[in-house]
Structure 1
């Protein structure tokens, strides 16, 4: 069995540091479309696979070029890459070292090839992220308004008015974008059939959890950071806690769980059982959030809508 050669790539705003595991050579190129295309042309005829850390917008040019050249790549969690570096005993951190360790990580762990994102879903993610930024600004301004001097209040009020208008406009763009895409529109309708999940939560799940609808509900819960992990050692049985995962998805499901708790559906029996055991309120809300995610995964997987039991 012939294994691919891994090329580690450390991504930054201005440049890309590359380490070729086959030649043991490190190079630095500019993080521009032209420079990336010129480098990819040198890989023609080689079974080489690029492995890089997910770095938000900085890796978009590289990923787009890799997809255009039909070159497989692995986009890994930065925390996982850092943990691998520590496991090897490597404490120093430079761009070249990071590229070399990424190539070693590929050879050692053989991470799965990243599936290219759907362009329509990627656009929804961009719009949704911009909405989140504006909502965060609005919350900051609302907090400032409580302690602002009289001379500052008019400025803050004008900014809040602009933010309200801009947020509404972004939400309208999200709605129009979803309605014009058959797949996204169907998923939105199915998700919003679940009690507690509204339009914004549906957009969040579609934008930030493209894996939703997969065969493993436990895997979905882990991706969202809603799966409790064991903390056992020997005869000690520690308390399970959730950790990691995608915070934006978890936050949206937490708010949806609060609504579902008030509606007493679709988790009434589960809540009653937990209340009987004296479980804290927050534990119940997290359990409801996980239940909503499992239901959403099943609904998208089976292409159906929610029906109360």
Structure 2
């Protein structure tokens, strides 16, 4: 099996205004805005690859637009607790912090740790969770 046949693992550092995306097996980084057009652009790029897993940290809702779009396109997504990635980075002695480095660490985490995929939530369940978050604020 050659490198082109292998799937890729993707790490996304989610920010309020941008998504830093790193494709581990291709050593490729790109950034898009965290809005509808940026998400569409990112999905279009990722659909060119055989994606094994896209990993994002749970950020308190900023990851949901991308996750929903990825689910709709049949891409495998794992939304993980940030502490898991932080501990992984510490174990890898990766202490520097930039959005690009964070995305690369998340992609490396995806490739090596093989986190469990997140199941897509029904639209109603997501609305209820959103209401609970807003009410608790």
Please list the CA deviations of residues 236-290 of structure 1 after superposition, one character each: whole Å capped at 9, or x if unmatched: xxxxxxxxxxxxxxxxxxxxxxxxxxxxxxxxxxxxxxxxxxxxxxxxxxxxxxx
CA–CA distance in 2 between the matches of 1:127 and 1:44?
32
Aligned residues: 133
Q: Does 1:76 align with 2:80?
A: yes
CA, structure 1 residues 101+33, in 2 after alignment: closer, same or farther (shift >3 Å)? same
Using structure 1 for the length normalisation, give the TM-score.
0.41
Matched, 1:57 2:61: yes
CA RMSD of aligned residues (A): 1.7
Structure 2 residue runs without a partner (length 5+): none
User: How far did 1:45 drift?
Assistant: 4.5
Q: Among residues 103, 108, 114, which one is paired with 1:104 in the alignment?
A: 108
Farther off after superposition, 91-100 or 41-50: 41-50
Q: Deviations over 1:133-159 (max 9, x none)?
A: 3xxxxxxxxxxxxxxxxxxxxxxxxxx
| Contact 2:32-2:41 at 8 Å conserved across structures | no
Write the distance in 1 (CA, Å) between the matches of 2:42 and 2:123.
25
1:127 correspondence with 2:96: no
More strand by share: 2
Query: Structure 1 residues 131, 45: CA separation in 2 closer, same or farther (over 3 Å shift)?
Result: closer
More helix by share: 1
Q: 1:42 aligns with which of 32, 42, 45?
A: 45
Distance 2:40 2:59 in 1: 20
Relative distance call for 1:127 and 1:39 in structure 2 (3 A) is closer
Q: How many angstroms does 1:19 deviate by?
A: 0.8
For the residue of structure 1 that corresponds to 2:25, the secondary structure is: coil
Gaps of 5+ in 1: 134-309
Contact 2:21-2:30 within 8 A present in 1 as well: yes
Aligned to 2:8: 5
Q: More relative contact order in 1 or in 2 (CA 8 Å, sep 6+)?
A: 2
- Residue in structure 1 matched with residue 120 of structure 2 by the alignment: 116
